């Protein structure tokens, strides 16, 4: 790695340099019937804080704090062999099944209706995935009828008989999950998937024409079939789907922090390539429709890989994918959120994977307390304050080279302007491991704006973690940044995530 000692960067922000309105759905998340996400996570009837439906109130409170607008369910890998009918109706007759995706035992105590009820409690809409691994058109169209049809038909009346009079009106539906992945039960070739997804979409839309559909893209930028998978599947699904999915996880397996936190260059390229492939298909089909992107699984995932191999097979709610996140993971997560915002003209939905216990910002002890992982913080601030219009920024930053990337800017940023609240918010990462970065931001078009707060996430130790008893990584406010003559001088400590929030008529 070449370390550049320059520690100054420049940025220009202008009100009229608009990327797009930020769709709040980019701050979505994901609960899979996996590990302790549901059982011992959101649902634990014997817990001290459990409500009348068995849901943990302490979890509900933290999820609400994150302001998560949409939550994907029930998988993930799990959905590719899932019979949704197992999870509805009287609990005593629900079958226990082998969950082949996660080597666990699924009791089906929680299913579609319970999840919809929980989502209401956290003020989120549901993004429902259908099984296109072992099943297909019939199971999918029946689930739409069960969920969304008002009544007077077999499946909608069955829902009513289960105690849910009103339709759930689930708007967003994923046509399967990661169907390009060899680990998937019922993996498909691009042709097989494209045809099945198109015909399934057609039938689902006949049941409910108001739904929005997500066609499966690649399970990661590193897939051998990427981007041919997108090109071939879209050939069939373009006219039926509204979105194509992207999934991506990163891990610092080589313990090379500078390289690790540069991974958003890959994410950025992934998004650009998917957009290019969608637009090629648009041109090829002479279509008027623009395909949007649903980045419906993204996060860091690697810490728990080895320990997961030791888990007892066929156990109920085993502790799986319980990554304990470090400070440097939070830096990368902050950058990933910046990347989503910078593409908000095409990325209209995204889900941090996942939400509770399983590669999650929120951790619980079964029968015990709750705590925030390091990654909770960039997610929280970006979700709460990153609403409005995403703005382009012109940036001049010193750069470095790492093992996999060249010309990595030390400064990684995104900007959101909320016209309604008259707030301008800058999310900024300093990737420099040694030096603080002084950023001069030209904000002349924001006359009369003052600094409300500069929130900083920093730590001497990139590997610092949080536990239930010791929160080593938490944000604080920094008073070193200031505004003078139309320039905001932001002081970003070495290796840090920052939020600078400005407001009109603020004194500072
Ligand atoms: O989120 C964990 C898993 O990652 C999901 O089940 C799957 O879709 C992806 O491979």
Question: Could you give the CA distance from residue 397 to residue 289 in angstroms, rounded to a whole number?
Answer: 37
What phi, psi does 127 have (nearest 5°)?
Answer: -105, 110
Superfamily of domain 7-16+390-504: Golgi alpha-mannosidase II (2.60.40.1180)
Determine the atom of ligand 1 nearest the C-alpha atom of 102.
6
Q: Taking residues 217-224, what's their average pLDDT?
A: 98
Nearest residue (by CA) to ligand 1, atom 6, is: 76
* Residue 508 pLDDT: 61
Q: Which of 44, 106, 230, 297 is catalytic?
A: 297
Q: Which of 178, 232, 328, 423 is catalytic?
A: 178
* Residue 477 pLDDT: 96
Q: What is the CATH number of domain 23-385?
A: 3.20.20.80
3-state SS, residue 118: helix
Q: Taking residues 218-247, what's their average pLDDT?
A: 98
* Residue 507 pLDDT: 65
Residue 465 Cα, ligand 1 centroid: separation in angstroms? 23
312 as an active site residue: the answer is no
Determine the atom of ligand 1 nearest the C-alpha atom of 178.
8
- What is the distance between the terminal CA atoms of the chain, rounded to a whole angstrom? 39
Determine the atom of ligand 1 nearest the C-alpha atom of 32.
6
Whether omega for the bond prior to residue 354 falls within 30 degrees of 0, making it cis, is: yes
Nearest to 416 by CA among 7, 8, 13, 6: 13
Given ligand 1 and candidates 29, 76, 132, which is best to mutate, with the most ligand atoms within 8 Å of its CB? 76
Residue 114 Cα, ligand 1 centroid: separation in angstroms? 22
Nearest residue (by CA) to ligand 1, atom 1, is: 353
3-state helix, strand, coil in the chain (%, to 5): 25, 30, 45
Per-residue pLDDT band at 1 (split at 50, 70, 90): very low
* Residue 497 pLDDT: 98
Question: Could you give the CA distance from residue 261 to residue 256 in angstroms, rounded to a whole number?
Answer: 9
- Residue carrying the six token digits 């009369």: 448
HEC string for 333-368: HHHHHHHHHHCCCCEEEEEEECCECCCCCEEECCCC
Q: Which tokens in the block code for residue 222? A: 């590193």
Q: What does the DSSP assignment read for 197-217?
A: HHHHHHHHHHH-TT-EEEE--
Residue 180 Cα, ligand 1 centroid: separation in angstroms? 12
Given ligand 1 and candidates 75, 77, 129, 351, which is best to mutate, with the most ligand atoms within 8 Å of its CB? 77
Residue 128 Cα, ligand 1 centroid: separation in angstroms? 15
- Residue carrying the six token digits 């960039």: 378
422 as an active site residue: the answer is no
Given ligand 1 and candidates 221, 294, 353, which is best to mutate, with the most ligand atoms within 8 Å of its CB? 353
Nearest residue (by CA) to ligand 1, atom 8, is: 76
HEC string for 149-179: CCCCCHHHHHHHHCCCCCCCCCCEEEECCCC
Residue 77 Cα, ligand 1 centroid: separation in angstroms? 6
* Residue 3 pLDDT: 43
* Residue 506 pLDDT: 74
Nearest residue (by CA) to ligand 1, atom 5, is: 76
Per-residue pLDDT band at 391 (split at 50, 70, 90): very high
| Residue range 345-372, pLDDT digits in tens | 999 999 999 999 999 999 999 999 999 9
Neighbours of 404 (CB within 10 A): 14
Question: Could you give the CA distance from residue 1 to residue 315 in angstroms, rounded to a whole number?
Answer: 45
Residue 314 Cα, ligand 1 centroid: separation in angstroms? 18
Nearest residue (by CA) to ligand 1, atom 2, is: 76
| Residue range 301-314, pLDDT digits in tens | 999 999 999 999 99
CB 265 within 8 A of CB 408: yes
Determine the atom of ligand 1 nearest the C-alpha atom of 77.
6
Nearest to 426 by CA among 404, 456, 405, 467: 456
Nearest residue (by CA) to ligand 1, atom 3, is: 76
Determine the atom of ligand 1 nearest the C-alpha atom of 78.
6
Question: Could you give the CA distance from residue 387 to residue 272 in angstroms, rounded to a whole number?
Answer: 23
* Residue 418 pLDDT: 97
Nearest residue (by CA) to ligand 1, atom 9, is: 76
Q: Taking residues 155-181, what's their average pLDDT?
A: 98
Query: Where do the domains of the chain lie?
Result: 7-16+390-504, 23-385
| Residue range 249-261, pLDDT digits in tens | 999 999 999 999 9
- Which residues lie across from 418 on neighbouring strands? 423
Given ligand 1 and candidates 33, 178, 296, which is best to mutate, with the most ligand atoms within 8 Å of its CB? 178
* Residue 232 pLDDT: 98
- Residue carrying the six token digits 């260059």: 265
Determine the atom of ligand 1 nearest the C-alpha atom of 101.
6
* Residue 505 pLDDT: 85
* Residue 323 pLDDT: 98
Nearest to 21 by CA among 347, 386, 388: 388
Q: Which tokens in the block code for residue 257? A: 């922090």
Handedness of CA 133, 134, 137, 140 (dihedral sign): negative
Nearest residue (by CA) to ligand 1, atom 7, is: 76
Question: Could you give the CA distance from residue 38 to residue 127 in angstroms, rounded to a whole number?
Answer: 16
Per-residue pLDDT band at 478 (split at 50, 70, 90): confident
Residue 354 Cα, ligand 1 centroid: separation in angstroms? 9
Residue 2 has pLDDT above 60, yes or no: no
Determine the atom of ligand 1 nearest the C-alpha atom of 353.
1
Residue 326 is given by DSSP the state: B
**Strand 408-409 with 399-400, pairing:** antiparallel
Chain Cα centroid distance, residue 123: 17
What phi, psi does 491 have (nearest 5°)?
Answer: -105, 105
User: What share of the chain in percent tops pLDDT 90?
Assistant: 97
Q: Identify the residues whose C-beta falls under 6 Å from ligand 1.
A: 32, 75-77, 177-178, 219, 297, 353-354
Question: Could you give the CA distance from residue 76 to residue 79 in angstroms, rounded to a whole number?
Answer: 6
Determine the atom of ligand 1 nearest the C-alpha atom of 34.
6
Q: Which tokens in the block code for residue 305? A: 């890989």
**β strands within 233-310, DSSP E:** 243-250, 292-300
* Residue 4 pLDDT: 40
Q: Which tokens in the block code for residue 162? A: 């289960």
* Residue 471 pLDDT: 97
Q: Which tokens in the block code for residue 49? A: 């804080």
Residue 178 Cα, ligand 1 centroid: separation in angstroms? 8
Mean pLDDT of the chain: 97
Q: Where are the alpha helices (DSSP H) in 30-131?
A: 57-66, 112-121
Q: Which residue has the higher pLDDT, 2 or 156?
A: 156
Residue 494 Cα, ligand 1 centroid: separation in angstroms? 33
Whether omega for the bond prior to residue 255 falls within 30 degrees of 0, making it cis, is: no
- Which residues lie across from 71 on neighbouring strands? 29, 126
Residue 172 Cα, ligand 1 centroid: separation in angstroms? 18
Given ligand 1 and candidates 214, 245, 249, which is best to mutate, with the most ligand atoms within 8 Å of its CB? 249
Question: Could you give the CA distance from residue 96 to residue 87 in angstroms, rounded to a whole number?
Answer: 10
């Amino acid at each position: 790695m070449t370390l550049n000692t320059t520690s100054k960067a420049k940025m220009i922000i202008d009100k009229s340099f608009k990327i797009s309105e930020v769709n709040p759905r980019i701050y979505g998340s994901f609960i899979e019937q996996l590990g302790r996400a549901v059982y011992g996570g959101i649902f634990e009837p014997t817990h001290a804080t459990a409500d009348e439906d068995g849901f943990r109130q302490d979890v509900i409170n933290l999820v609400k704090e994150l302001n998560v607008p949409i939550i994907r369910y029930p998988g993930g890998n799990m959905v590719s062999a899932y019979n949704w009918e197992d999870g509805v109706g009287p609990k005593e007759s629900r079958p226990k099944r082998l969950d082949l995706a996660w080597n666990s035992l699924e009791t089906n105590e929680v299913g579609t209706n319970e999840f919809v009820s929980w989502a209401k409690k956290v003020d989120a809409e549901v993004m429902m995935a259908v099984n296109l691994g072992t099943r297909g058109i019939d199971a999918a169209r029946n689930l739409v009828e069960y969920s969304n049809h008002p009544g007077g038909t077999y499946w909608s009346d069955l829902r009513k008989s289960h105690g849910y009079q009103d339709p759930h009106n689930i708007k967003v539906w994923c046509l399967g999950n990661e169907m390009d992945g060899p680990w998937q039960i019922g993996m498909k070739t691009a042709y097989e998937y494209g045809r099945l997804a198109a015909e399934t979409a057609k039938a689902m839309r006949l049941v409910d024409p108001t739904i929005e559909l997500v066609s499966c893209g690649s399970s990661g930028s590193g897939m051998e079939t990427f981007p041919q998978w997108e090109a071939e599947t879209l050939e069939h699904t373009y006219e039926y789907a509204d979105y194509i999915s992207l999934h991506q996880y990163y891990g610092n397996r080589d313990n090379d922090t500078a390289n690790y936190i540069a991974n958003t260059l890959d994410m950025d390229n992934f998004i650009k390539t998917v957009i290019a492939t969608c637009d090629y298909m648009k041109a090829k089909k002479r279509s008027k429709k623009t395909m949007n992107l649903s980045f419906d699984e993204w996060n860091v995932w690697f810490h728990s890989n080895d320990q997961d191999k030791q888990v007892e097979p066929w156990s109920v709610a085993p502790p799986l994918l319980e990554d304990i996140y470090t400070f440097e993971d939070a830096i990368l997560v902050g950058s990933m959120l910046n990347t989503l915002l910078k593409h908000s003209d095409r990325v209209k939905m995204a889900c941090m994977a996942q939400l509770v216990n399983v590669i999650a910002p929120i951790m619980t002890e079964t029968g015990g307390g709750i705590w925030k992982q390091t990654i909770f913080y960039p997610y929280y601030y970006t979700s709460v304050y990153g609403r409005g219009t995403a703005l382009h920024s012109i940036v001049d930053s010193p750069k470095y080279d790492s093992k996999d990337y060249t010309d990595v800017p030390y400064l990684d940023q995104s900007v959101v302007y909320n016209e309604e609240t008259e707030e301008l918010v800058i999310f900024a990462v300093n990737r420099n491991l040694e030096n603080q970065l002084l950023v001069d931001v030209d904000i002349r078009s924001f006359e009369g704006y003052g600094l409300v707060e500069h929130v900083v996430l920093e730590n001497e130790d990139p590997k610092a973690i949080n536990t239930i008893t010791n929160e080593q990584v938490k944000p604080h406010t920094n008073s070193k940044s200031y505004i003078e003559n139309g320039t905001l001088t932001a002081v970003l400590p070495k290796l840090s995530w920052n939020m600078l929030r400005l407001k009109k008529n603020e004194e500072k």
